[in-house]
Amino acid sequence: MNKFVLFVLFMAFAISYGNSQIITGKVIDKKTKEPLISATVKVVETGVATVTDKDGVFKIKADKNQHLVIGFLSYKTITVPVEKAEKVALESDYVGLDEIIVESDPLDDISHSWVITDNIKKGSQPRNVADLFNDIPGFSLQKRSNTSLEPSFRSFKYEEMNIKYNGGEKLVHACPNRM
């Protein structure tokens, strides 16, 4: 009796293991017949998934009565039975994008800008440029020679800065190595 029970259990495991097998297939482009690298292959019923290799070949464990979902970026995703998964051709899919509109409000989106509202500084001319920018946090001017000053900002994230003084405008390169 014990031998019969062991035999039945062994056969049950063998049959259930026999249904599950390693499925090998290839995913190609329908038009060019080129292999699709890194296409996803997923067994619908179990959720087991894999990707194709550089030759478009995949190996996955599945039963004969299960289905595979095969997809790739910019290709139509298809579902095929395991029996027909030996060679799968995916058709290219058109991906349309709507227009992209970027809007901003210059007054709200300006970072690292200061407006000097000190009436004394507004009403009188500063002695030099260093006096003008003295109260701005993180900003300093370094004298390089008799005629040149180099601005220095701390925590400045852009490569250029736009300096306006009395309507005059100057674009200065803000090299991070000098800051």
Phi, psi of 162 (to 5 degrees): -110, 115
Are residue 127 and residue 172 in the same domain, yes or no? yes
| pLDDT score of 70 more than 90 | yes
The secondary structure of the chain as a DSSP string is -HHHHHHHHHHHHHHHHHHEEEEEEEEEETTT-PBPTT-EEEETTT--EEE--TTSEEEEEEETT-EEEEE-TTB--EEEEGGG-SEEEEPB-------------HHHH--S------HHHHHS--SSHHHHTTTSTTEEEEE-SSS-EEEEESS--SSEEEEEETTEEEEEE--GGG-
Does residue 52 belong to any structural domain of this protein? yes
Is 59 a domain residue? yes
pLDDT of 156 > 80? The answer is no
More confident residue, 31 or 12: 31
> In whole numbers, what is the pLDDT of the chain averaged over residues?
75
> Is the same domain home to 85 and 115?
no
Domain boundary among 57, 90, 123: 90
What percent of the chain is modeled with pLDDT above 70?
50
The answer on 130 and 74 residing in a single domain is no
> Which pLDDT belongs to residue 31?
93
Domain span holding position 68: 2-90
Q: Are residues 116 and 84 part of one domain?
A: no
| Greater pLDDT, 21 or 104 | 21
- pLDDT tens readout for residues 87-146: 999 999 877 777 777 776 666 655 555 565 666 555 666 666 666 666 666 667 777 777
pLDDT confidence band for 179 (50 / 70 / 90): very low
Least confidently predicted of 5-14, 17-26, 39-48, 67-76: 5-14
Q: What is the pTM of this model?
A: 0.47
Whole-number pLDDT of residue 154: 64
Residue 63 in this model has a pLDDT that exceeds 80: yes
Asked if residue 119 and residue 83 are part of one domain, the reply reads no
Higher local confidence (pLDDT), 169 or 4: 4
pLDDT confidence of residue 24: 92
